[in-house]
Structure 1
Amino acid sequence: MANNDRKEISATIRDVAKAAGVSPATVSRYYSGSSVVGTELSNQIENAAEKLGYIHKYRKRKDRGVIALLLSDLELSFYGDVVKEILEQLSRYRFRLIIIPYSNEESDYKHFITEMNIEGVIYLDENINPDILKYIHSKNIKTIMCGGVSQNDKVESVHVNDLLAAYEGMKYLIQLKHEKILVLSDFENKMDSTFQRLMGCRKALEEYSLQGQEELIAYGKMTYEMGYRLTEKMLKAKKDFTAVFAFSDEMAMGAIKALFANGLEVPRDISVLGFDDIAFAEKYNPPLTTIHQPIKAFVTQCLDFFMNETEHKTLDIMFPFRIIERSTCAENKRV
């Protein structure tokens, strides 16, 4: 007992550092929380301190630190589903979560990044201001894009193969004998997911000799309201189409509402295919046929990424998608 007391009294930060195989500065930073100390080093320090009987007056909690989720808004249900999934999985990883609201024109986010002990950052918007990512990278904070293609080559990405998913979605409608297909798209930007989806659609149309339908592509924000507005605009312009392929489920639902408002039934008169498979898609009336994005797998990969202590090249990880057949697509009877 006396020996243990002497060991406890005599042990210092330097002793813990030597036993853990790290510098005294690293041990000091670990206990003070002044900067991020990785999981592997944290465990080494904790184990060394326990063996030496060292107890710091500000003993560090045995959690893994803070993950920041950057959100510009929750306008899209896809974002809300991702947040819900992060909250459900977070406890298994012993991370804490903060949500940092931001706009591309303001720099308030810097205060949170500077003041909080951030272990990693997740973001969802492909069109985020590149300066935000550069600032986070300058702080040596691991960052990952969830559900889209990062435009920064130093940032990890998890997503589906958007080109192939849109290709298969368009081919699915064509095989249901639809030849005039209205595409509801976000505004495309460089090599982002919208650009990839449009490439996939055009590829399928070309393979079936149905190219030259650019007048049936309508652009706008991927919201319910925009889906309604764009579909109604096409109907009033007397555009001929027998199916709608929307690049978000909200857009697809807005399109269905506009079709019903104009006396058209889904899928009897017009088929509608969505993209995302948000939680509400199967509860919608009629239940939405859509392309499933594996949100649960996206989130697991993001959180696993922050657990990985090893250095590696920036990864671009693609997960499988699938078409979920429900009640909004049917064979075209007008051919």
Structure 2
Amino acid sequence: MSLTVRDIAKVAGVSPATVSRYFSGSDIVSKDTARKIENASKELGYTPKFKKCKDNGVIAVLIPNLQLGFYGEVLKELIEEIPKYNYRIVFIPTIPDSEHYKIFFKEMNIIGVIYFDEFIDRDIINYISSKKIKTVMFAGGSFDSRSEMVHINDIAAAYEGTKYLISLGHEKIIILSDFLKNIGSSFQRFTGCKRALDEIGVDLNENEMLGFGPVTYETGYRLTKQFLEKKTDFTAIFAFSDEMAMGGISALHDFGLKVPEDVSVLGFDDIALASRFIPRLTTIHQPIKEFVTKTLEAFQDLDNANDKVEITLPYKIVKRDTCTVNKGVNIYEK
């Protein structure tokens, strides 16, 4: 007796219609449901006569730069997840004063755009908006009221991170940040830090305790070295990216200081390298997998391309080996 979708549905514990939709590619089913159907098919030795892949169009990812490991992990996750939604993906670098990106929109069936850059050029935003294409700002705030946003609460995350350092006895905290721009995630994180310090009566002196630059390893190293050379009085560093934090740790090491015995260091993002770096980095976890899933799900509702939806996902402090109780060490007398 030949097997039917009803036999597969019974073993998988789903409806025959769900099995039919899965094999025809006419609709998207959850990962768990797809796994049940595939397992049931293998168990029964069922091979579908056809399994169509519905092409839902192209998602364009606009990329300002790929210096940060955070975005490398995001791209890896996007490439892995996007076939499950029957989309194709194209990566478009945003080059200053160039309109080369328009070629992609003229030649491809682009139905959605993911922004990585919070401060993307206004001309690009207006061009994409004129085509009634849904856009999602990934892991950041957006100036464009027409764009959806998928991110964490950066103010609350930085506030909680700073409160954690304060709970360990640290009040003299150096902050390593991207350049502060209104609404941007770095500005929000700075706001959260300042709020936590204000609550204990500590005035955050921006001229003395705040370092700016691209949130890279090299910047973290350079800024920390500068603070040490100026003999800035501090017991902890809060860096707004893990790579910045790692650069700071390396500069402290080269100065003859130990982390966390002499200086505690807190990062932000929780990239894969954070748990492999020595010492293992304590950091604020951003849920990359969930960011990607929620972003791709946003493109399932293309009828409301101009509706702004803000999705805020949970963060958490991942405590590893780079933060400890302030022992009152004068790092310049060691």
TM-score by length of 1: 0.81
Deviation at residue 258 of structure 1 after TM alignment: 0.2
Picking from 127, 132, 148, the partner of 1:156 is 148
Picking from 298, 304, 323, the partner of 1:329 is 323
Distance 2:278 2:116 in 1: 28
Distance 2:222 2:71 in 1: 22
SS at match of 1:281: helix
Picking from 45, 65, 79, the partner of 1:87 is 79
Distance 2:85 2:255 in 1: 50
Aligned residues: 279
Distance 1:43 1:277 in 2: 37
Deviation at residue 62 of structure 1 after TM alignment: 2.4
CA contact (8 A) 2:148 2:307 kept: no
Tell me whether 1:117 sits opposite 2:125 in the alignment.
no
Tell me whether 1:229 sits opposite 2:229 in the alignment.
no
In structure 2, what residue type is equivalent to 1:62? K
Distance 1:317 1:279 in 2: 24
Picking from 158, 164, 171, the partner of 1:172 is 164
Deviation at residue 61 of structure 1 after TM alignment: 6.7
In the other structure, the counterpart of 2:266 is 273
Picking from 241, 244, 250, the partner of 1:248 is 241
Distance 2:328 2:26 in 1: 67
SS at match of 1:280: helix
Deviation at residue 104 of structure 1 after TM alignment: 3.0
- For each residue in 1:124-163, what CA deviation from the matched residue of structure 2 results, as whole angstroms up to 9, or x when unmatched? 1112112111111111111101110011100111100000
Tell me whether 1:289 sits opposite 2:266 in the alignment.
no
CA contact (8 A) 1:104 1:128 kept: no
When the two chains are superposed, the root-mean-square deviation of aligned CA atoms in Å is 1.7
Unpaired segments of 5 or more residues in structure 1? 1-41, 45-59
In structure 1, what residue type is equivalent to 2:322? T
Picking from 57, 70, 83, the partner of 1:78 is 70
Distance 1:115 1:281 in 2: 40
In the other structure, the counterpart of 1:128 is 120
Q: Which stretch of structure 1 is more off in the superposition, 114-123 or 98-107?
A: 98-107
Identity value in percent: 53
Distance 1:136 1:179 in 2: 46
Q: Which stretch of structure 1 is more off in the superposition, 262-271 or 313-322?
A: 313-322
CA contact (8 A) 2:178 2:215 kept: yes
Distance 1:328 1:191 in 2: 29
Tell me whether 1:259 sits opposite 2:252 in the alignment.
yes
In the other structure, the counterpart of 1:319 is 313
Distance 1:201 1:166 in 2: 6
Tell me whether 1:203 sits opposite 2:195 in the alignment.
yes
Distance 2:309 2:156 in 1: 19
In structure 2, what residue type is equivalent to 1:260? H
SS at match of 1:166: helix
Unpaired segments of 5 or more residues in structure 2? 1-24, 28-51, 330-334
Distance 1:274 1:43 in 2: 43
Distance 1:193 1:105 in 2: 25
CA contact (8 A) 1:186 1:194 kept: yes
Deviation at residue 43 of structure 1 after TM alignment: 5.9
- For each residue in 1:299-329, what CA deviation from the matched residue of structure 2 results, as whole angstroms up to 9, or x when unmatched? 1011001112442730121111000001110
Distance 1:107 1:166 in 2: 37
- For each residue in 1:233-266, what CA deviation from the matched residue of structure 2 results, as whole angstroms up to 9, or x when unmatched? 0000000100000000010000000000000000
Flag the structure with larger Rg: 1
CA contact (8 A) 2:175 2:237 kept: yes
CA contact (8 A) 2:53 2:86 kept: no
